[in-house]
A and B are shown apart, each in its own frame.
Chain A
Amino acid sequence: MLPKIASETELRSLLSRLSGVDAVGVEARAAKLATRSIKKSSKMQAIDLAISMVDLTTLEGADTLGRVRSLCTKALRPDPFDSSVPAVAAVCVYPDLVAHARSVLGDSSVAVASVATAFPSGRASLAVKLLDVREAVASGADEIDMVIDRGAFLSGRLGQVFDEIVAVKAACGSAHLKVILETGELVTYDNVRRASWLAMLGGADFIKTSTGKVAVAATTPVALIMLEAVRDFAEATGEVIGVKVAGGIRTAKDAIRYLVLVNETVGSAWLTPQRFRFGASSLLNDLLMQRLKQQRGAYVRADEFSGD
C-alpha cells in the first residue's frame, strides 16, 4: 500500500530519512557486475528478453507519419525474416503521433507510449502539462512518459514536484505512468535516490532514467540506485514499480549488462517487460545483429536491418 503523504513536510521528512548513497561502492558494484560474461544459450535468451523489453523510440522534430509507420511495423516484427524474434514492448512517440501509431499497431501486444508534460524540458504550466497528458491518453496512449520539474526539485520545492506527479497520474486514468527523473541533471546520486522515492510515492508505475536529450543519459550506477530504490520500496510498501533505462544504450552488450544488474538487485521477478524496459532506437538493430551472429557463427553487416 502506498503511504499517504499529507503535506510537503511529511514528504520532506520521509525523503530525508533515506540513507545517502555510497558513490564509490555503487560505481564499483556496477562495474563489477558489468564484467559478468553471458554466453551461448544464456546470451540468446538474454537477447530475446531484451528485444521484448525495448520501447522502440523516435522523438525527433523531424518525425513523420511514414517514419512512425515503419517504426511500428518494425516493432511488431523486428526481423522480417525470422518470426521467432519477439515483438518489442512498446513504441514511444510524441503525443501528436500517438493516434497514428495506434492505428498501425491495432490491437497487437505492442503498447503505444507517449512522452508528455512538455517533454523534454518540462518547462510549462501544470495546466498545459495535464492537457498534453489527456490528449495523449485520448489518442490511445497506453503509457505516458512524464518528465519531472528538475528546476523545482533542485531548488527544494519537492512538494510541487510531488503534486505534479499526483496530478499527472490522475490525468493518466488507466494508462501506465512512467516518471522520467532525468538523472543527468540531478547532479548527485543522493538526489537520484530521493527523486526515485518521490516519484514512486507520487504514484509512478515506472521510474525512468532519462529523456535521452541531455548529454548524460542512463548509466549503470544510476540504474543500480534506482533498482535498489524499487527493491526497498517494494519491501516497505508491497508496491511493485518498474524501471526504464533510456538514452545511450546502443549495444546488446550494454543491454545485457543492465539485465545482469536487474537480476542481481531486484531479482528475476523483474526480468519481464512489465517491470523493466529499455528506451532506445538503435539498440534493437544491434540486438538483432547479435542474434543473427549467434545463429550464423559469423559477424553480420549493420545495414542488414532497416534504420527505423
Chain B
Amino acid sequence: MSKKRLEVRKTYKLLINGAFPRSESGRTYEVKTAKGAYWANIAQGSKKDVREAVYAARVAQPKWWAASAYNRGQVIYRLAEMAESRRDELTEHVQVAEGLKTKEAQAVVARSIDRIVWYAGWTDKITQVFGGANPVAGPFFNFSMPVPSGVIAVIAPQDSSLEGFVDAVLAPVTVGNSVVVLASERRPTPALLLGEMTATSDFPGGVFNIVTGITSELASTLATHEDVDGLDLEGAGAQAGELAVAGAATIKRVLRPAASDDSSLRRLRAFVETSTVWHTVGQ
C-alpha cells in the first residue's frame, strides 16, 4: 500500500504592509513556465490594492528612515541571510520562470544575493559619497546631505525575475525610501519569494510592498497617484513614455530604463533629494 502524501500547494499572495493578503478584487491569473506549462495562479492586484500599498508605504517610510544607517544595513544584510538559506527554492523558481539551466539559475541567485549584501554595505556610505561640505563665504559650515524622496513605485523588470528585481527594489530602499513594486507580470514568483523573506528580516511592515497583476492595468494608477514621489519605469516597456508624462504631472522623480547600465550608482542616486543645512562655525 503506497502512502502518497497529499500535496501542500501554495497560494501566491500580495505583500502589503507586512501582511500577505489576496487581491481585494478576488481575481487571479495564471502564469506559465518559460516552456509554456502551467506554473502557478497569481493574485491579480487591483487599483485598490495599489492604493492600500501606497498608503502603507507612506506610513512606513519615516520609520525606516528614522532607523540608523547602520541598522538599515543590518536589516538588508539579514535579507541576504534569509535568501541564502532559501537558495535552492529561489534557484528552482528562477530556473522555471526564466528557462535557464540549473547552473545558470544558481549563478543568477548567487549574484542576486551578493547584490543584496552590496546594497547592505551602502546604507552608511551614501551620505559621504552623495553629500558634502560646501564652500561658503562666511563663518558657516554648509552641508548637503542626501535624504530619501519618500514612496517609490517600481515597475520591476519583466524578464530578469530576481536579479533585476533585487537591483530595482533594493536601491531605493537602501537610501531610505519605501517601495511599492509591480512584480514582473509573467515571472512574479521569485519576487514573491523574496517578499516573504523581507517579512523575516526586521523590515518595518510597509517598507516593501509587492503587488502582482497586469502591469499595463496597474502602472498608470501608480504613475498618477499623487502620494508617490518617484517612479522607476524599468519594466514598463512601451508604456514608459506615457507613464513618465503621467508621473511628471504630479512632479515625481522618474527613472527611465537605461540604454546600458552606465553607472552602478545610477539607481542609488535616482531617488534621493538634497537637503542643505547651515551651521555656524564654533559653538
A39 part of interface (Cβ distance < 8 Å):
no
A300 part of interface (Cβ distance < 8 Å):
yes
Which of chain B's residues have a CB closer than 8 A to the CB of A235? Answer: none
Complex alpha-carbon distance, A297 and B58, angstroms: 20
Which of B51, B54, B224, B226 lies at the interface centre, i.e. has the most chain A CB atoms within 10 A of its CB?
B226
> Least Cβ distance of A290 to chain B in Å?
11
Which of chain A's residues have a CB closer than 8 A to the CB of B250? Answer: 298
B226 (CB) vs chain A CBs: closest residue = A301
Question: In the bound complex, do residue A304 and residue B226 qualify as a contact, i.e. CB atoms below 8 Å apart?
Answer: yes
Which of chain A's residues have a CB closer than 8 A to the CB of B58? Answer: 302
Interface band, chain A: under 10
Complex alpha-carbon distance, A297 and B220, angstroms: 11
Complex alpha-carbon distance, A304 and B250, angstroms: 12
Which of chain B's residues have a CB closer than 8 A to the CB of A304? Answer: 226
A299 (CB) vs chain B CBs: closest residue = B225
Which of A299, A300, A301, A304 lies at the interface centre, i.e. has the most chain B CB atoms within 10 A of its CB?
A299
B28 part of interface (Cβ distance < 8 Å):
no
B229 (CB) vs chain A CBs: closest residue = A301
A298 (CB) vs chain B CBs: closest residue = B224
B227 part of interface (Cβ distance < 8 Å):
yes
Complex alpha-carbon distance, A302 and B165, angstroms: 29
Complex alpha-carbon distance, A298 and B226, angstroms: 7
B144 part of interface (Cβ distance < 8 Å):
no
Complex alpha-carbon distance, A80 and B117, angstroms: 49
Which of chain B's residues have a CB closer than 8 A to the CB of A302? Answer: 58, 227
Interface size on B, residues (CB 8 A): 9
Which of chain A's residues have a CB closer than 8 A to the CB of B221? Answer: 298-299
B223 (CB) vs chain A CBs: closest residue = A298
Which residues in window 278-308 of A have CB below 8 A to B? 297-302, 304
B250 (CB) vs chain A CBs: closest residue = A298
> Least Cβ distance of A301 to chain B in Å?
4
> Least Cβ distance of B48 to chain A in Å?
10
> Per-residue CB proximity of A214-233 to B under 8 Å, as 1/0?
00000000000000000000
Which of chain B's residues have a CB closer than 8 A to the CB of A301? Answer: 226-227
Which of chain A's residues have a CB closer than 8 A to the CB of B225? Answer: 298-299
Complex alpha-carbon distance, A297 and B225, angstroms: 9
Question: In the bound complex, do residue B226 and residue A297 qualify as a contact, i.e. CB atoms below 8 Å apart?
Answer: no
> Least Cβ distance of A303 to chain B in Å?
8
Which of chain A's residues have a CB closer than 8 A to the CB of B226? Answer: 298-301, 304
Complex alpha-carbon distance, A301 and B150, angstroms: 12
> Least Cβ distance of A299 to chain B in Å?
4
Which residues in window 239-262 of A have CB below 8 A to B? none
Which of chain B's residues have a CB closer than 8 A to the CB of A297? Answer: 224
Which residues in window 192-225 of B have CB below 8 A to A? 221, 224-225
> Least Cβ distance of B151 to chain A in Å?
9
Complex alpha-carbon distance, A300 and B250, angstroms: 10
Complex alpha-carbon distance, A227 and B51, angstroms: 33
B51 (CB) vs chain A CBs: closest residue = A299
Complex alpha-carbon distance, A297 and B250, angstroms: 13
A303 (CB) vs chain B CBs: closest residue = B227
Complex alpha-carbon distance, A300 and B58, angstroms: 12
> Least Cβ distance of A291 to chain B in Å?
14
> Least Cβ distance of A307 to chain B in Å?
15
Complex alpha-carbon distance, A300 and B225, angstroms: 6
Which of chain B's residues have a CB closer than 8 A to the CB of A300? Answer: 226-227
A304 (CB) vs chain B CBs: closest residue = B226
Complex alpha-carbon distance, A304 and B225, angstroms: 13
Which residues in window 35-58 of B have CB below 8 A to A? 51, 54, 58
Complex alpha-carbon distance, A300 and B221, angstroms: 11
Which of A297, A301, A304 lies at the interface centre, i.e. has the most chain B CB atoms within 10 A of its CB?
A301
> Per-residue CB proximity of B245-279 to A under 8 Å, as 1/0?
00000100000000000000000000000000000
Selected A-B contacts with CB under 8 Å, 20 pairs:
A297-B224, A298-B221, A298-B224, A298-B225, A298-B226, A298-B250, A299-B51, A299-B54, A299-B221, A299-B224, A299-B225, A299-B226, A299-B227, A300-B226, A300-B227, A301-B226, A301-B227, A302-B58, A302-B227, A304-B226
Known: A299-B54, A299-B224. 15 other contacts (CB 8 A): A297-B224, A298-B221, A298-B224, A298-B225, A298-B226, A298-B250, A299-B51, A299-B221, A299-B225, A299-B226, A300-B226, A301-B226, A302-B58, A302-B227, A304-B226
- Residues of chain B having any CB pair with chain A under 8 Å: 51, 54, 58, 221, 224-227, 250
